[in-house]
A and B are shown apart, each in its own frame.
Chain A
């Protein structure tokens, strides 16, 4: 399987503060990868670099292309905050995604919306925070993208919502696509991960295969605690 993401010596500074310090990382295609680390470790910054939201030093390639216009068309990104216009309805959100992204599967989006039991013509501002986040997730996951970057998709939502989110991620349209999920709630997503990447203090601390960790009789959560206890 080709490399979905190749990052070489990526450095991002906010003024004097180093957010990412010479990060090297390779993620192979078709995997579900957990980008795991405490708050402020650089997870969101790494995603922003990969989506072209932040300029950085070094190199970051997605399916062989440097981050830019081409990669934006194959990357579906869920930021940690709601970025939709609250005056829009779910229908308008989907129509907007359909307009801008050729790979947006509107039928799939409505199927997922039906499971939420939300009317398509209701304005987002009238919905709860959790429902807004779910609609945003639906819009992001209804794209047949090659790479999905999901920043804290289960942070701040109730257990029932977490189940919906995890199921939506698992039933992704593109079987060969790569999903990178950033979170600090490892236990909740451990079962769906193929690989893990631990990040802390602006550096990649450790990465590996989830099966390998399990074969040692440990969980990723335990491995995470072990690694971070040593730091």
Chain B
């Protein structure tokens, strides 16, 4: 049943999201082309036109990425928080299967959207950046063990943070819907948004403070950086697990259709 729910949830926004990604890639090519042309034209007027088109296309990539994520989240919202929930919650599946499959679908779609935006910017860069495989004969110094570990830790932190953000999104939708059974829908969404904003502010402050320590690493030593990174990994992992667990609890008991 897990696979069936995942497939159903994944295929639902397929056409819309793929269309948006395709447009985003075209916007990337257009942005790159216009930027390249702006450097080649002599006319001041044409320079402004190409420059504006390039900026607009770059802006369009951001809007399209936002639209993709919105479509994916809306699809999840419709399945669990609208009349369609009557279908969702009468399926012969456990809460674990429902939460897990839908989380995976959100995760995969958001990853595809991110890959889409990266590819769009890469296509844009292709027109203007000159890539060089050669490093001019200068050999990079071999990485020290500590640097390798540091790099792995940063990668783990990024991955865990990403998983946690997706879990937050899922929980936000579920929690807002559960609240809307008691409060007005707009107020519920506002409250959830406010809670996440405050959490985000606290996390940003933590990150900034951490960054400040990283900058002053010479005084604190590399061991402290490792410790700090692991604290952040555990913090993000803990928040992600907590929101996943709460989603499970809400979907299992409190997210009942009224």
The chain A residues found within 8 Å of chain B, CB to CB, are 15, 48, 51-55, 69-70, 72-73, 75, 77, 79, 81-85, 96, 99-101
Contact = CB atoms under 8 A, between A and B. Distances in A.
A51 B83 contact: no
B92 A70 contact: yes
Nearest to A78: B86
Contacts of A72: 90-93
A73 B1 CA distance: 11
B87 interface: yes
Contact of A51 (B4, B8, B90, B93): B90
B199 interface: no
B217 interface: no
Interface string B154-165: 000000000000
Interface in B231-258: 253, 256-257
Contact of A100 (B4, B94, B257): B4
Interface in B70-107: 78, 83-87, 89-94
Contact of A55 (B78, B83, B85, B256): B256
B90 A77 contact: yes
Contacts of B84: 83-85
12 contacts: A48-B256, A51-B89, A53-B256, A69-B93, A70-B92, A72-B91, A75-B90, A81-B83, A82-B83, A83-B87, A99-B7, A100-B4
A81 to B, nearest CB: 5
B94 A53 contact: no
Interface residues of B, number: 21
Contacts of B91: 72, 100
B90 A52 contact: yes
A192 B4 CA distance: 37
Given A69-B93, A83-B83, A48 B4 contact: no
Given A82-B83, A85-B78, A85-B84, A96 B8 contact: yes
Contact of A84 (B7, B87, B89, B90): B87
Contacts of B92: 69-70, 72-73, 100-101
Given A48-B257, A69-B92, A53 B78 contact: no
Contacts of B7: 99
Interface in B1-53: 1, 4, 7-8, 12
Interface of B: 1, 4, 7-8, 12, 78, 83-87, 89-94, 182, 253, 256-257
B8 A53 contact: no
A135 B217 CA distance: 66
Contacts of A83: 83-87
Nearest to A101: B92
Contacts of B87: 83-84
Most chain B CB within 10 A, of A51, A72, A83, is at: A83
Nearest to A96: B8
Per CB-CB distance, the 3 closest pairs between chain A and chain B, nearest first, are A73-B92, A83-B86, A72-B92
Nearest to B84: A83
Contacts of A79: 83, 86
B177 to A, nearest CB: 14
A130 B253 CA distance: 33
A75 B89 CA distance: 12
Given A52-B90, A85-B84, 16 more contacts: A48-B256, A52-B89, A53-B90, A54-B257, A55-B253, A69-B93, A72-B91, A72-B93, A77-B86, A79-B83, A83-B85, A85-B78, A96-B8, A100-B4, A100-B8, A100-B91
A79 B257 CA distance: 11
Contacts of A101: 92
Contacts of B253: 55
Contact of B256 (A15, A54, A77): A54
B4 to A, nearest CB: 6
Contacts of B182: 15
Nearest to A139: B87
Nearest to B5: A100
A103 to B, nearest CB: 10
Nearest to A71: B92
Nearest to B256: A54
Given A48-B256, A48-B257, A73-B92, A53 B4 contact: no
Given A51-B90, A72-B92, A99 B83 contact: no
